[in-house]
Amino acid sequence: MNREDTVKNRHFLADKRWVFPLFIAGLIAGVILTSSFMKSADSSLLCSVANIRSSSQAVAENSATPIQLQAIVHYATSRIVPQQSFGEISVTLDVLKKRSPCNFLVFGLGYDSLMWTSLNPNGNTTFLEEDPKWVQTVLKDAPSLHAHPVKYRTQLQEADRLLTHYRSEPSCFPSEAYLRGNEKCKLALTGFPDEFYDTEWDLIMIDAPRGYFPEAPGRMAAIFSAAVMARNRKGPGVTHVFLHDVDRKVEKTFAEEFLCRKYLVKSVGRLWHFEIPSAADMSSHGGANFC
């Protein structure tokens, strides 16, 4: 390869690193345009039936939110990309297109947080992060994000013992399980912000806490608690739960134990998507097993 070809190849590789961030920025812009078009069409239809909206109000509703504009600029000018692949992101995006604005709970605060918030405009997107210093770092550049630092009381190395504990502790059983103040059930997330317990979450993304070394919190309690919240849902419809890193043993084992294979509706890459009905909508919801 001559010098000219080498230079061209280096330029190609450098340009390639920009492809995904630009694609994410384009994705967000596309969602804004699509949403705006659909809302404009709905507004026109409603106005033809009854003049209930002013044109200025319709324009305001169809405008991009500040967080969406910030996300477009951020991803268009940064080489730092979201942790998930485009295929994995698309699974959640398809649900957000139908459910947004909604209550979206995300375990983990990361490089994709601006994206998730912008894809749920006018909704409530809340992030839970185990590292308080990281929360400060992220919010310094994106203060409009809604995030809480939280503490977990489990460790990855306890995974097997936690499964044994759950099977013998009545306060962990699906018919009895609750979260706030449930100290007896070691898998229940306790001591979290009130918003975590008081909000009925439509979508739950589990992409944290850390689960790749023995002393890490692991995602056991997050998976269990997501299942409990979904089963206790009072509103209509299912709870969408997205679990990342299912190639790891603990994530897969706890997903099959609490989120249930029968509720798994899609699998892309390392992401599983579950649609979990409330206990009231289940044909059978008694006993000591979630599935």
For 162-184, write each residue's pLDDT tens digit.
Answer: 999 999 999 999 999 999 999 99
For 274-288, write each residue's pLDDT tens digit.
Answer: 999 999 888 765 567
Q: Give strand pairing partners of 28.
A: none
Under DSSP, is residue 156 helix (H, G, I), strand (E, B) or coil?
A: helix
Beta carbons of 212 and 270 less than 8 angstroms apart: no
What is the DSSP secondary structure assignment for residue 212, as one 8-state letter?
A: S
- Helix or strand holding residue 90 (H, E): helix 86-99
For 104-118, write each residue's pLDDT tens digit.
Answer: 999 999 999 999 999
For 235-266, write each residue's pLDDT tens digit.
Answer: 999 999 999 999 999 999 999 999 999 999 99
Mean pLDDT, residues 16-40 taken together: 56
Inform me whether the pLDDT recorded for 59 exceeds 50: no
If you write DSSP's letter for every residue of 126-155 in order, what string do you get? EEEES-HHHHHHHHHH-TTSEEEE------
CA–CA gap between residue 260 and residue 253 (Å, rounded): 10
What's the pLDDT score for residue 286?
57
What's the pLDDT score for residue 234?
94
CA–CA gap between residue 196 and residue 128 (Å, rounded): 9
- Omega within 30 of 0 (cis) for the link into 101: yes
Q: Write the Ramachandran bin of 86: left for phi over 0, alpha for psi from -120 to 50, otherwise beta.
A: alpha
Of the candidate CATH numbers 3.30.70, 3.30.1490, 2.40.10, 3.40.50, the domain formed by 82-281 belongs to 3.40.50
CA–CA gap between residue 95 and residue 192 (Å, rounded): 26
pTM, two decimal places:
0.82
Beta carbons of 111 and 78 less than 8 angstroms apart: no
Band of residue 138 on the pLDDT scale cut at 50, 70, 90 = very high
Q: How many CB atoms lie within 10 A of CB 79?
A: 10
What is the DSSP secondary structure assignment for residue 64, as one 8-state letter?
A: P
CA–CA gap between residue 198 and residue 259 (Å, rounded): 21
What's the pLDDT score for residue 146?
97
If we measure between CA atoms, which residue out of 115, 108, 118 comes closest to residue 85? 115
**C-alpha radius of gyration, the chain, whole number:** 21
What is the DSSP secondary structure assignment for residue 174, as one 8-state letter?
A: T
State the pairing for strand pair 271-276/124-129. unpaired
Mean pLDDT, residues 199-204 taken together: 98
Three-state secondary structure along 229-282? HHHCCCCCCCEEEEEECCCCHHHHHHHHHHHCHHHEEEEECCEEEEEECCHHHC
What is the DSSP secondary structure assignment for residue 209, as one 8-state letter?
A: S
Domain ranges of the chain: 1-78, 82-281
- Helix or strand holding residue 125 (H, E): strand 124-129
- Rounded to the nearest 5 percent, the helix, strand and coil shares of the chain are 50, 10, 40
CA–CA gap between residue 127 and residue 205 (Å, rounded): 9
Inform me whether the pLDDT recorded for 67 exceeds 70: yes
Q: Give strand pairing partners of 125.
A: 104
